[in-house]
């Protein structure tokens, strides 16, 4: 019989369809396996093609002056970099569509996905994330910043070269506000942070743990909204990603490729999105919110039931999925071409 579980952090009810649960290979059969070269002549993000993405805002170089990571303005941004965040029609809640949107090119190599990263490569990327995150919040027009990555065709990727994106919006998105309200309500009722409580329960039960380090816990939520949906929580309470210490970023730099590598192995390089959910630096001490990183493999699609009810159907059992990931070997560099 199926179970209906409640996700206290998102406020969603999820049907865990135990009778039609799928094994990893059933999801992996959908994955597209292809040889990826280290360089593509027409790619705007490969080293040597910098003129095709010339609006550079930030770059990290090696000792020889060669770039390792670049952050460039998104040519197709939905928000204008010029203008002020002014209310056009307060009655209808219309605001000028201004903000910031950059693409963070993660590597000069076309085939260097995070699952294959060295520790130093991931550590550099996380530091660039933090620098751009803080730079965006220095813009007085920006009220919320989101850092995210799309990997693979089912995740909305338009360019294959490994990249992440960062967007600063002049309004706080409704989904973010909803989760803040749920967290505030829970803190008022229980006196403790909902996220800390959830993380401690997952560590105690250990059934859905994927990995645990000194500073972080990676787990599949009890009411995971979709198959193999992984959350990575910092153990230290903070509402803002940019407050992570050097030791914490070092820890995350080792953990993130490990988790993505296990997903790569178990599900044969699935499309996925990941997002860093965080409040602003001036809200870092908020007692109700806890920043975290969510990884969402795109193994299922919303259909009429989900659209009509707002409920999700998860065809994997979180406990089984976590066990599969614990047993999976991290991805190896030789799995890629180039």
pLDDT per residue over 234-244, tens digit each?
A: 999 999 999 99
Per domain, the residue ranges of the chain are 3-335
Q: What is the spatial distance between Cα 295 and Cα 154, in angstroms, rounded to a whole number?
A: 14
- pLDDT tens digit sequence for 63-95: 999 999 999 999 999 898 888 877 767 777 888
- pLDDT tens digit sequence for 195-211: 999 999 999 999 999 99
Distance of CA 158 to the CA centre of its chain: 17
Does residue 32 or residue 306 have the better pLDDT? 306
Taking the CA atoms of 311, 313, 316 and 319 in sequence, report the sign of the dihedral they define.
Answer: positive
For domain 3-335, which architecture applies?
A: 2-Layer Sandwich (3.30)
- pLDDT tens digit sequence for 262-279: 999 999 999 999 999 999
The runs of H, that is alpha helices, within 56-193 are 119-137, 174-190
């Amino acid at each position: 019989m199926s179970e209906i579980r409640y996700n206290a952090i998102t406020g969603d009810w999820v049907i865990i369809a135990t009778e039609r649960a799928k094994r990893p290979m059933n999801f992996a059969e959908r994955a597209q396996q292809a040889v990826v070269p280290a360089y593509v002549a027409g790619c705007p993000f490969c080293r040597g093609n910098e003129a095709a993405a010339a609006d550079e805002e930030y770059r990290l170089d090696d000792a020889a002056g060669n770039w390792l990571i670049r952050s460039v303005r998104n040519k197709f941004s939905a928000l204008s970099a010029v203008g002020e965040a002014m209310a056009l029609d307060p009655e209808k809640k219309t605001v000028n569509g201004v903000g910031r949107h950059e693409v963070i090119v993660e590597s000069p190599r076309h085939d260097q996905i995070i699952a294959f990263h060295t520790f130093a490569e991931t550590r550099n990327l996380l530091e660039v994330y933090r620098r751009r995150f803080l730079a965006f919040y220095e813009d007085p027009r920006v009220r919320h910043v989101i850092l995210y990555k799309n990997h693979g065709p089912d995740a909305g990727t338009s360019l294959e070269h490994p990249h992440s994106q960062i967007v600063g919006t002049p309004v706080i998105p409704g989904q973010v506000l909803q989760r803040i309200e749920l967290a505030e309500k829970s803190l008022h009722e229980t006196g403790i942070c909902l996220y800390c409580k959830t993380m401690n329960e997952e560590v105690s039960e250990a059934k859905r743990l994927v990995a645990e380090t000194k500073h972080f816990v990676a787990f599949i939520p009890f009411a995971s909204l979709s198959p193999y949906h992984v959350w990575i929580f910092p153990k230290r309470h903070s509402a803002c990603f940019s407050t992570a210490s050097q030791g914490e970023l070092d820890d995350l730099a080792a953990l993130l490729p490990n988790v993505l590598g296990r997903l790569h192995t178990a599900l044969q390089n699935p499309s996925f999105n990941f997002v860093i959910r965080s409040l602003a630096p001036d809200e870092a001490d908020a007692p109700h919110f806890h920043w975290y990183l969510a990884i969402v493999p795109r193994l299922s699609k919303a259909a009429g039931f989900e659209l009509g009810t707002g409920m999700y159907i998860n065809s994997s059992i979180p406990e089984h999925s976590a066990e599969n990931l614990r047993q999976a070997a991290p991805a190896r560099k030789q799995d890629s071409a180039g």
